[in-house]
Amino acid sequence: MRERFVRIPGLIDTHVHLRDPGETHKEDFYTGTSAALAGGVICVIDMPNNKEPIIDSERLEEKEKIAKRKAVCDYGFYLGASEENSQHREIEVLNRVVGLKMYLNLTYGALFVSSPEKIKEHFASWPKNKPLLVHAEGEKVSMVLSLLKLSPRRVHFCHISLKEEIEQIKKAKEYGLPITCEATPHHLFLTEEDGRTLGPFGKIHPPLRTTEDVDALWRNLDVIDIIVSDHAPHTKEEKLSSAPPPGVPGVETTLPLLLSAVSQGKLSLDRLVELTSTNPARIFNLKPNQGSWVEVDITESYLIENQNLKTKCGWSPFEGKKVTGRVRRVFLRGHKVYEDGEILVKPGFWRGIIYAAI
């Protein structure tokens, strides 16, 4: 008879959009980090595509002050790459971020780098010991890999979703390029057919893909380094508008979905830990939090229900889906911070994460 309660390391979600500052009607640092704890996540790294993108020290400082007041789990930030900040000479700023995020495809927000020369400048000037992340879809994946063959450096590919993309990355790793990549639960557990059912609530960048693409991701799970939520909440009203924005919430449903995959034999518990804790800490130069873990009931089956979510947007593309594996308790630095649906700490309970300095 298998054990019912299991203790695993707290998850590190290196790809979230908490919308604070600028769009706190969708989410903020308190509701977003509360949702994280409910999902067994003890540390989040927030993306820079805020309403006013995080591209300089002033905007970064504003975000830091807000997070310090509101967060209930640990967090870090990325700097956003733009056409104007490609030299990266502000050492003081570089030491306050986990990495650089470069958008090579248009998506939600204003961040976008289109100039080939500016892309090369970012690649050359960003510190080699700091992660450089790219939002690259389709042919942009090929472009980045071609650049890296000429001038190798560490690059992390965000939310890989296509069969062709994961196969290209597999070949590039075999070639010896120092790259890593991630996948999301919505690209692992949903298809474009689900997207048609979900309508605007399934609109996401990159979009939901074919069954063949989803199967390719699972088949190449050994090529994928980490699994992240790409938590990108919007209100129901926005999703039902004439121009629904792309993005879905997900930080509190990632672990239940992956535990269900463990229950189904698609994934081992050890591999789950690698994908959500060990590898994120290694790739993003994060020191582990002592006394931090998650207690899960790996036998409990239940339905994901919107009414039980902590995220401010109040919905999930997985609403109504049966999962097996519930987060019962979360401990952060020896403190019990979450138990059976309740957040047990007040806003401001956090510690600045420790990562590589210049």
pLDDT 10s digits, 74-85: 999 999 999 999
Find the mean pLDDT for residues 123-143: 95
Q: Kindly tell me if the per-residue pLDDT of 69 is higher than 90.
A: yes
How far, in Å, CA of 271 to CA of 277, rounded? 10
How far, in Å, CA of 183 to CA of 194, rounded? 18
Look at the pTM and tell me if it is higher than 0.95. yes
* DSSP string covering 74-115: EEEEEEEP-SS--S---HHHHTT-SEEEEE-S--SSS-----
How far, in Å, CA of 12 to CA of 146, rounded? 30
Per the omega criterion (within 30 degrees of 0), is the bond before 206 cis? yes
pLDDT band at 108 (very low <50, low <70, confident <90, very high): confident
Among residues 79, 78, 64, the alpha carbon closest in space to that of 29 is found at 64
Q: Kindly tell me if the per-residue pLDDT of 90 is higher than 50.
A: yes
pLDDT band at 1 (very low <50, low <70, confident <90, very high): very low
Confidence at residue 229, expressed as pLDDT on a 0 to 100 scale: 99
Find the mean pLDDT for residues 18-29: 98
Q: In Å, how far are 13, 200, 236, 245, 253 from 241, measured between CA atoms? A: 29, 9, 9, 9, 25
3-class state of residue 125 by DSSP: helix
Confidence at residue 357, expressed as pLDDT on a 0 to 100 scale: 52
Check residues 107 and 330 and name the one with the higher pLDDT. Answer: 330
- What structural domains does the chain harbor? 12-254 (3.20.20.140)
Residue 263: Cβ within 10 Å count: 17
Confidence at residue 2, expressed as pLDDT on a 0 to 100 scale: 64
pLDDT-wise least confident of 40-44, 127-131, 170-174: 127-131
pLDDT-wise least confident of 53-62, 169-178, 208-217, 279-288: 279-288
Q: In Å, how far are 66, 131, 245, 314 from 29, measured between CA atoms? A: 8, 23, 20, 15
Confidence at residue 287, expressed as pLDDT on a 0 to 100 scale: 80
How far, in Å, CA of 221 to CA of 190, rounded? 16
Among residues 3, 130, 109, 8, the alpha carbon closest in space to that of 55 is found at 109
pLDDT band at 356 (very low <50, low <70, confident <90, very high): low
Residue 288: Cβ within 10 Å count: 14
Q: In Å, how far are 32, 148, 167, 258 from 35, measured between CA atoms? A: 5, 37, 33, 17
Q: Kindly tell me if the per-residue pLDDT of 194 is higher than 60.
A: yes
The whole-chain average pLDDT of the chain stands at 95
Confidence at residue 354, expressed as pLDDT on a 0 to 100 scale: 56
Among residues 89, 138, 144, the alpha carbon closest in space to that of 113 is found at 144
pLDDT band at 355 (very low <50, low <70, confident <90, very high): low
Confidence at residue 167, expressed as pLDDT on a 0 to 100 scale: 98
8 A C-beta contact, residue 252 and residue 38: yes
